[in-house]
């Protein structure tokens, strides 16, 4: 196991990640809630080999919230083909608000 800061990779980290070339990348509850910076998300999704699957949950307002436009452009862009999606509730906050998410499965072209 290796713990990395995707925004401060060394040359050794880059080589190690390139050798992985994963078939599947999963990202849960990080896109749209301020947990994963867009730049780190781009590094992570860039590891996925063509034909691989990206499975993730995103804030339901991904396509309408201006601060999330970079994620939406990446996911809706030419690199991915949608395979499945389902809406749900991530959790209910202490004050009773529901945090809504969409689960996506995308295939990298």
Looking at domain 11-108, does it have CATH number 3.40.50.300? no
What are the residue ranges of helices labelled H in 1-109?
11-20, 38-46, 69-76
E-assigned strands of the chain? 24-31, 53-59, 80-92, 98-108
The model's pTM is: 0.87
Q: Where are the domains of the chain?
A: 11-108
Tens of pLDDT along 50-99? 999 999 999 999 999 998 999 999 999 999 999 999 999 999 999 999 98
Give the span between the Cα atoms of 78 and 107, in whole angstroms. 11
Is the pLDDT score of 21 beyond 90?
A: no
Is the pLDDT score of 33 beyond 80?
A: no
């Amino acid at each position: 196991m290796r713990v990395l800061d995707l925004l401060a990779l060394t040359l050794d980290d880059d080589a190690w990640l390139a050798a992985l070339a994963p078939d599947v990348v999963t990202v849960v509850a990080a896109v749209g809630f301020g947990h994963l910076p867009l730049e780190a998300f781009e590094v992570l999704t860039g590891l996925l080999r063509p034909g691989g699957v990206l499975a993730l949950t995103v804030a339901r307002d991904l396509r309408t919230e201006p601060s999330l436009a970079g994620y939406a452009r990446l996911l809706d862009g030419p690199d991915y083909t949608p395979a499945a999606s389902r809406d749900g509730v991530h959790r209910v906050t202490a004050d009773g608000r529901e945090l809504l998410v969409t689960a996506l499965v995308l295939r990298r072209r």
